[in-house]
Amino acid sequence: MDFFKQKFNSKNIQEGQLFLMDKPIGWTSFQVVNKMRWHLKNLTGLKKIKIGHAGTLDPLASGLLIVCTGKKTKSIHLYQNEMKTYTGTFSLGASTPSYDLETEIDNIYQTNHITNDIMHEVAQTFIGEISQIPPIYSAIKIKGKRLYYYARNNKSTKIKARKVCISKFEITNINFPKVDFLISCSKGTYIRSLAHDFGKKLSSGAYLSSLKRIQIGNKIIDDAYSMESVIKRYSKKNIKCVKVD
């Protein structure tokens, strides 16, 4: 039996497969899952496929998304609990209500006092367990409604801080006002909130201008498959599949 039939027959998909996908900017995580479901139905002839992802990425973020099928969907919570690593860019001297590029800049701040050494020092203050307030523009539910509902309808609501763990926060390049970073963190961490808090600790402002997830546990982006190729053609040469023991 050739590779294609071994990996993509209906039995294997129902028993459970794990796919590493590179989510492009502009896609929701749900759209990636829907596209994979459509292709796998065509590949296997199945009318219904149980499928889900292990950790949402914002539409403006790109990178590693773990997609599970069949019985492997029962393991999704295990991948969600893994440490995650991101690269990206903070823009200093300004802020936005969403803490990223979803909304327009609302405030401008002074940056003359910020040096490279200060930025590296401030980054280290986030290492360990920290208390973080999620962005108002997020999908967390309060009183039955998503937080972004309150933000988009100019309604106020109290957002509780949550404990998250930052194991690594490195400034990898500075091209002021752009600051590149590498961050490893626990489940539930909002990099947008880190950007906002980073700016505040610098006595200035900052927002997230780019974000890419490059690792979840021991799964890395280099082993992921691009959605662009899935759209063009699905075949044994186009879909990377990682079978979980």
Digit-coded pLDDT (tens) for 183-235 = 999 999 999 999 999 999 999 999 999 999 999 999 999 988 888 776 665 54
CA torsion, ordered 191, 195, 197, 202, to nearest 10 deg: 150
CB within 8 Å of 84: residues ≥ 6 apart: 55, 184, 185, 186, 187, 189, 213, 215, 216
What pLDDT is recorded for position 241? 45
Portion of the chain with pLDDT greater than 90, in percent? 64
Mean pLDDT over each residue of the chain, to the nearest integer: 87
State the CB neighbour count (10 A cutoff) for residue 54.
Answer: 24
Digit-coded pLDDT (tens) for 98-151 = 999 999 999 999 999 999 999 999 999 999 999 998 887 777 776 666 766 666
Q: CA-CA distance, 191 to 198, in Å (whole number)? A: 10
Residues annotated as part of the active site: 58
pTM (two decimals): 0.88
Rg (CA), the chain: 20
What pLDDT is recorded for position 143? 66
Tokens 């546990």 sit on residue: 217
How far is CA 207 from each of CA 18, 93, 132, 210, rounded to the nearest angstrom?
33, 9, 15, 9
Distance from the Cα of residue 130 to its chain's centroid: 19
Q: CA-CA distance, 228 to 24, in Å (whole number)? A: 8
**Domains parsed from the chain with CATH numbers:** 3-81+218-232 (3.30.2350.10), 84-215 (3.30.2350.10)
Write out the two tokens for 237: 């040469």
Weakest mean pLDDT among 15-19, 74-78, 82-86, 101-105: 15-19
Portion of the chain with pLDDT greater than 70, in percent? 85
What pLDDT is recorded for position 135? 83
* Sign of the CA dihedral with 89 first, then 183, 142, and 55 last: positive
